[in-house]
């Protein structure tokens, strides 16, 4: 991977960060380690990596470049009906998979897992299509917010129960392009606290 710019180079976006939690270098190192694990575990099985747009794109792209075995990639797109239904894990599928997954080995790739409700819904949906196997890989895990137990085979980092952005994680569509992950300043997502 090419060298990344220092956090300060992101100007206005960086100004919204109170603290960098994971540097671009730390993320790159961990993604490489995950890619090596996936390559070893799936050798000879030609897995299909499945992600949910849009947040997973940076992680999926970097993970793909570290996997040394043949793989395919497909994406889902979902929309939550409201904040209340999102908290219950109810989502609307806006884009389904293009690939047939019956008898395929699936690796479900997530940028972040928190409550687990949405992921649980998606995994149930995919299991009904009779894949040979499904495993979960997440770069960031907010296990303190977990409401449902999920089997996570590959995990990058544990996140604090704070509002974080960067490396695909966003706030109102911004900050996804930061190559690092940091704490968002509270005054940005809680404007009444100023």
Known catalytic residues are 114
Q: Show the beta-strand stretches assigned E in the chain.
A: 17-22, 48-53, 72-80, 91-95, 105-113, 133-141, 154-158, 164-165, 181-184
CA distances from 84 to 91, 120, 123, 177 (A): 11, 17, 21, 28
Q: Determine the Cα–Cα distance for residues 118 and 104; give it in Å rounded to an integer.
A: 22
CB within 8 Å of 180: residues ≥ 6 apart? 4, 7, 20, 21, 22, 23, 24, 27, 166, 167
């Amino acid at each position: 991977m090419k060298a990344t710019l220092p956090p300060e180079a992101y100007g206005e976006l960086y100004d919204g960060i109170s603290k960098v939690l994971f540097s671009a270098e730390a993320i790159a190192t961990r993604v490489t380690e995950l890619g090596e694990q996936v390559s070893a575990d799936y050798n000879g099985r030609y897995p299909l990596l499945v992600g949910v747009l849009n947040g997973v794109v940076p992680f999926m792209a970097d993970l793909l470049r570290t996997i040394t075995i043949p793989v395919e990639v497909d994406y889902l797109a979902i929309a939550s009906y409201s904040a209340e239904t999102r908290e219950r894990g109810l989502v609307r599928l806006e884009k389904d998979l293009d690939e047939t997954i019956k008898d395929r080995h699936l690796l479900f790739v997530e940028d972040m897992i928190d409550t687990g409700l949405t992921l649980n819904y998606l995994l149930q949906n995919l299991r009904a299509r009779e894949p040979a196997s499904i495993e979960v890989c997440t770069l960031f895990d907010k296990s303190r917010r977990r409401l449902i137990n999920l089997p996570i085979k590959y995990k990058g980092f544990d996140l604090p129960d704070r509002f974080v952005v960067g490396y695909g994680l966003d706030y109102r569509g911004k900050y996804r392009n930061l190559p690092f992950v940091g704490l968002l300043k509270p005054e940005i997502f809680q404007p009444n606290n100023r």
